[in-house]
A = this chain, B = another copy of it.
Amino acid sequence: MKNLKLSSLNGGPHRKTLVKVGEVTIGQGFIVIAGPCSVESEDQTIETARRVKEAGANILRGGAFKPRTSPYAFQGLGIKGLQILEKAGKETGLPVVTEVLDPRDVSWIAEYVDMLQIGTRNMQNYSLLKEVGKAKKPVLLKRGMYSTLSEWLNCAEYILAEGNPNVVLCERGIRSFDTYSRNTLDLSVVPAVKEVSHLPIIVDPSHGTGRLSLIGPMSLAARAAGADGIMVEVHRNPAEALSDGDQSLPPEMFDSLMKKLKVVDDCMKKIAG
């Protein structure tokens, strides 16, 4: 990366980009994005939104258009999902983030939400990157499951180059050979990003591990490694989830995690002095 002249690198670690999502600022203080993998119904989404809000989450997540490995799997509720998500955001006062899959959908989806997410499969979908680069909403850019740090920052650059400076990176696990966890969460990329870029970075331990028992410890570790936040899947009843049930926290586990995160966050602030 020595020879790159990326605006994602300009100022390197000394300049810090702060990204506003609704009333929440990412890049100063530790934030938590939580919510169901998929928006499945109004009832489920609003109840989950209330639970995560009460527990202290800052932003609500929820998928309306789902990129699924098989064309025959549940593909999301589409526009109905967006309407539910918007309503859940308004009722709880939480800004909302959702994934976009198609460049043709970016501008109208942006009307419903506060932040647009680019998923791991689309990290190098340059048409989509350019389109969110033209949108007026901040972007959550997930790392490709196969991508180097340099490639990832180049994708951020595609967005920045279109005039949208509000990019938040999200580490979500890379593909490796072990099968115990679904992916290998690469936490060392957190201080690496801090070292070379001014962009904020959060961590997704739900996809990063794919295993309920690992999400809590890796969330605390993400904070200790210096991440600006985490994104976790929460479902009021994981056993009934239409997608990612295996890695969705039930609300009571999320409550407990939030309390632990608060303790680690306080101690990390103390260290930062």
Contact = CB atoms under 8 A, between A and B. Distances in A.
A84 interface: no
Interface in A67-97: 67-72
Interface string A208-240: 110101101110111111100000000000000
Interface size class of A (residues with CB under 8 A): 35 or more
A28 interface: no
A121 B270 CA distance: 40
Contacts of A68: 126
A264 B126 contact: no
Contact of A103 (B104, B184, B192): B104
A122 interface: yes
Contact of A176 (B157, B184, B191, B270): B184
19 contacts: A4-B70, A69-B151, A71-B157, A72-B157, A72-B161, A102-B103, A102-B127, A148-B177, A148-B179, A149-B180, A176-B177, A177-B177, A184-B184, A185-B188, A188-B209, A191-B213, A220-B271, A263-B267, A267-B267
Interface of A: 1, 4, 67-72, 101-104, 121-122, 124-128, 144-146, 148-151, 154, 157-158, 161, 174-181, 184-192, 194-195, 208-209, 211, 213-214, 216-218, 220-226, 260, 263-264, 266-268, 270-271
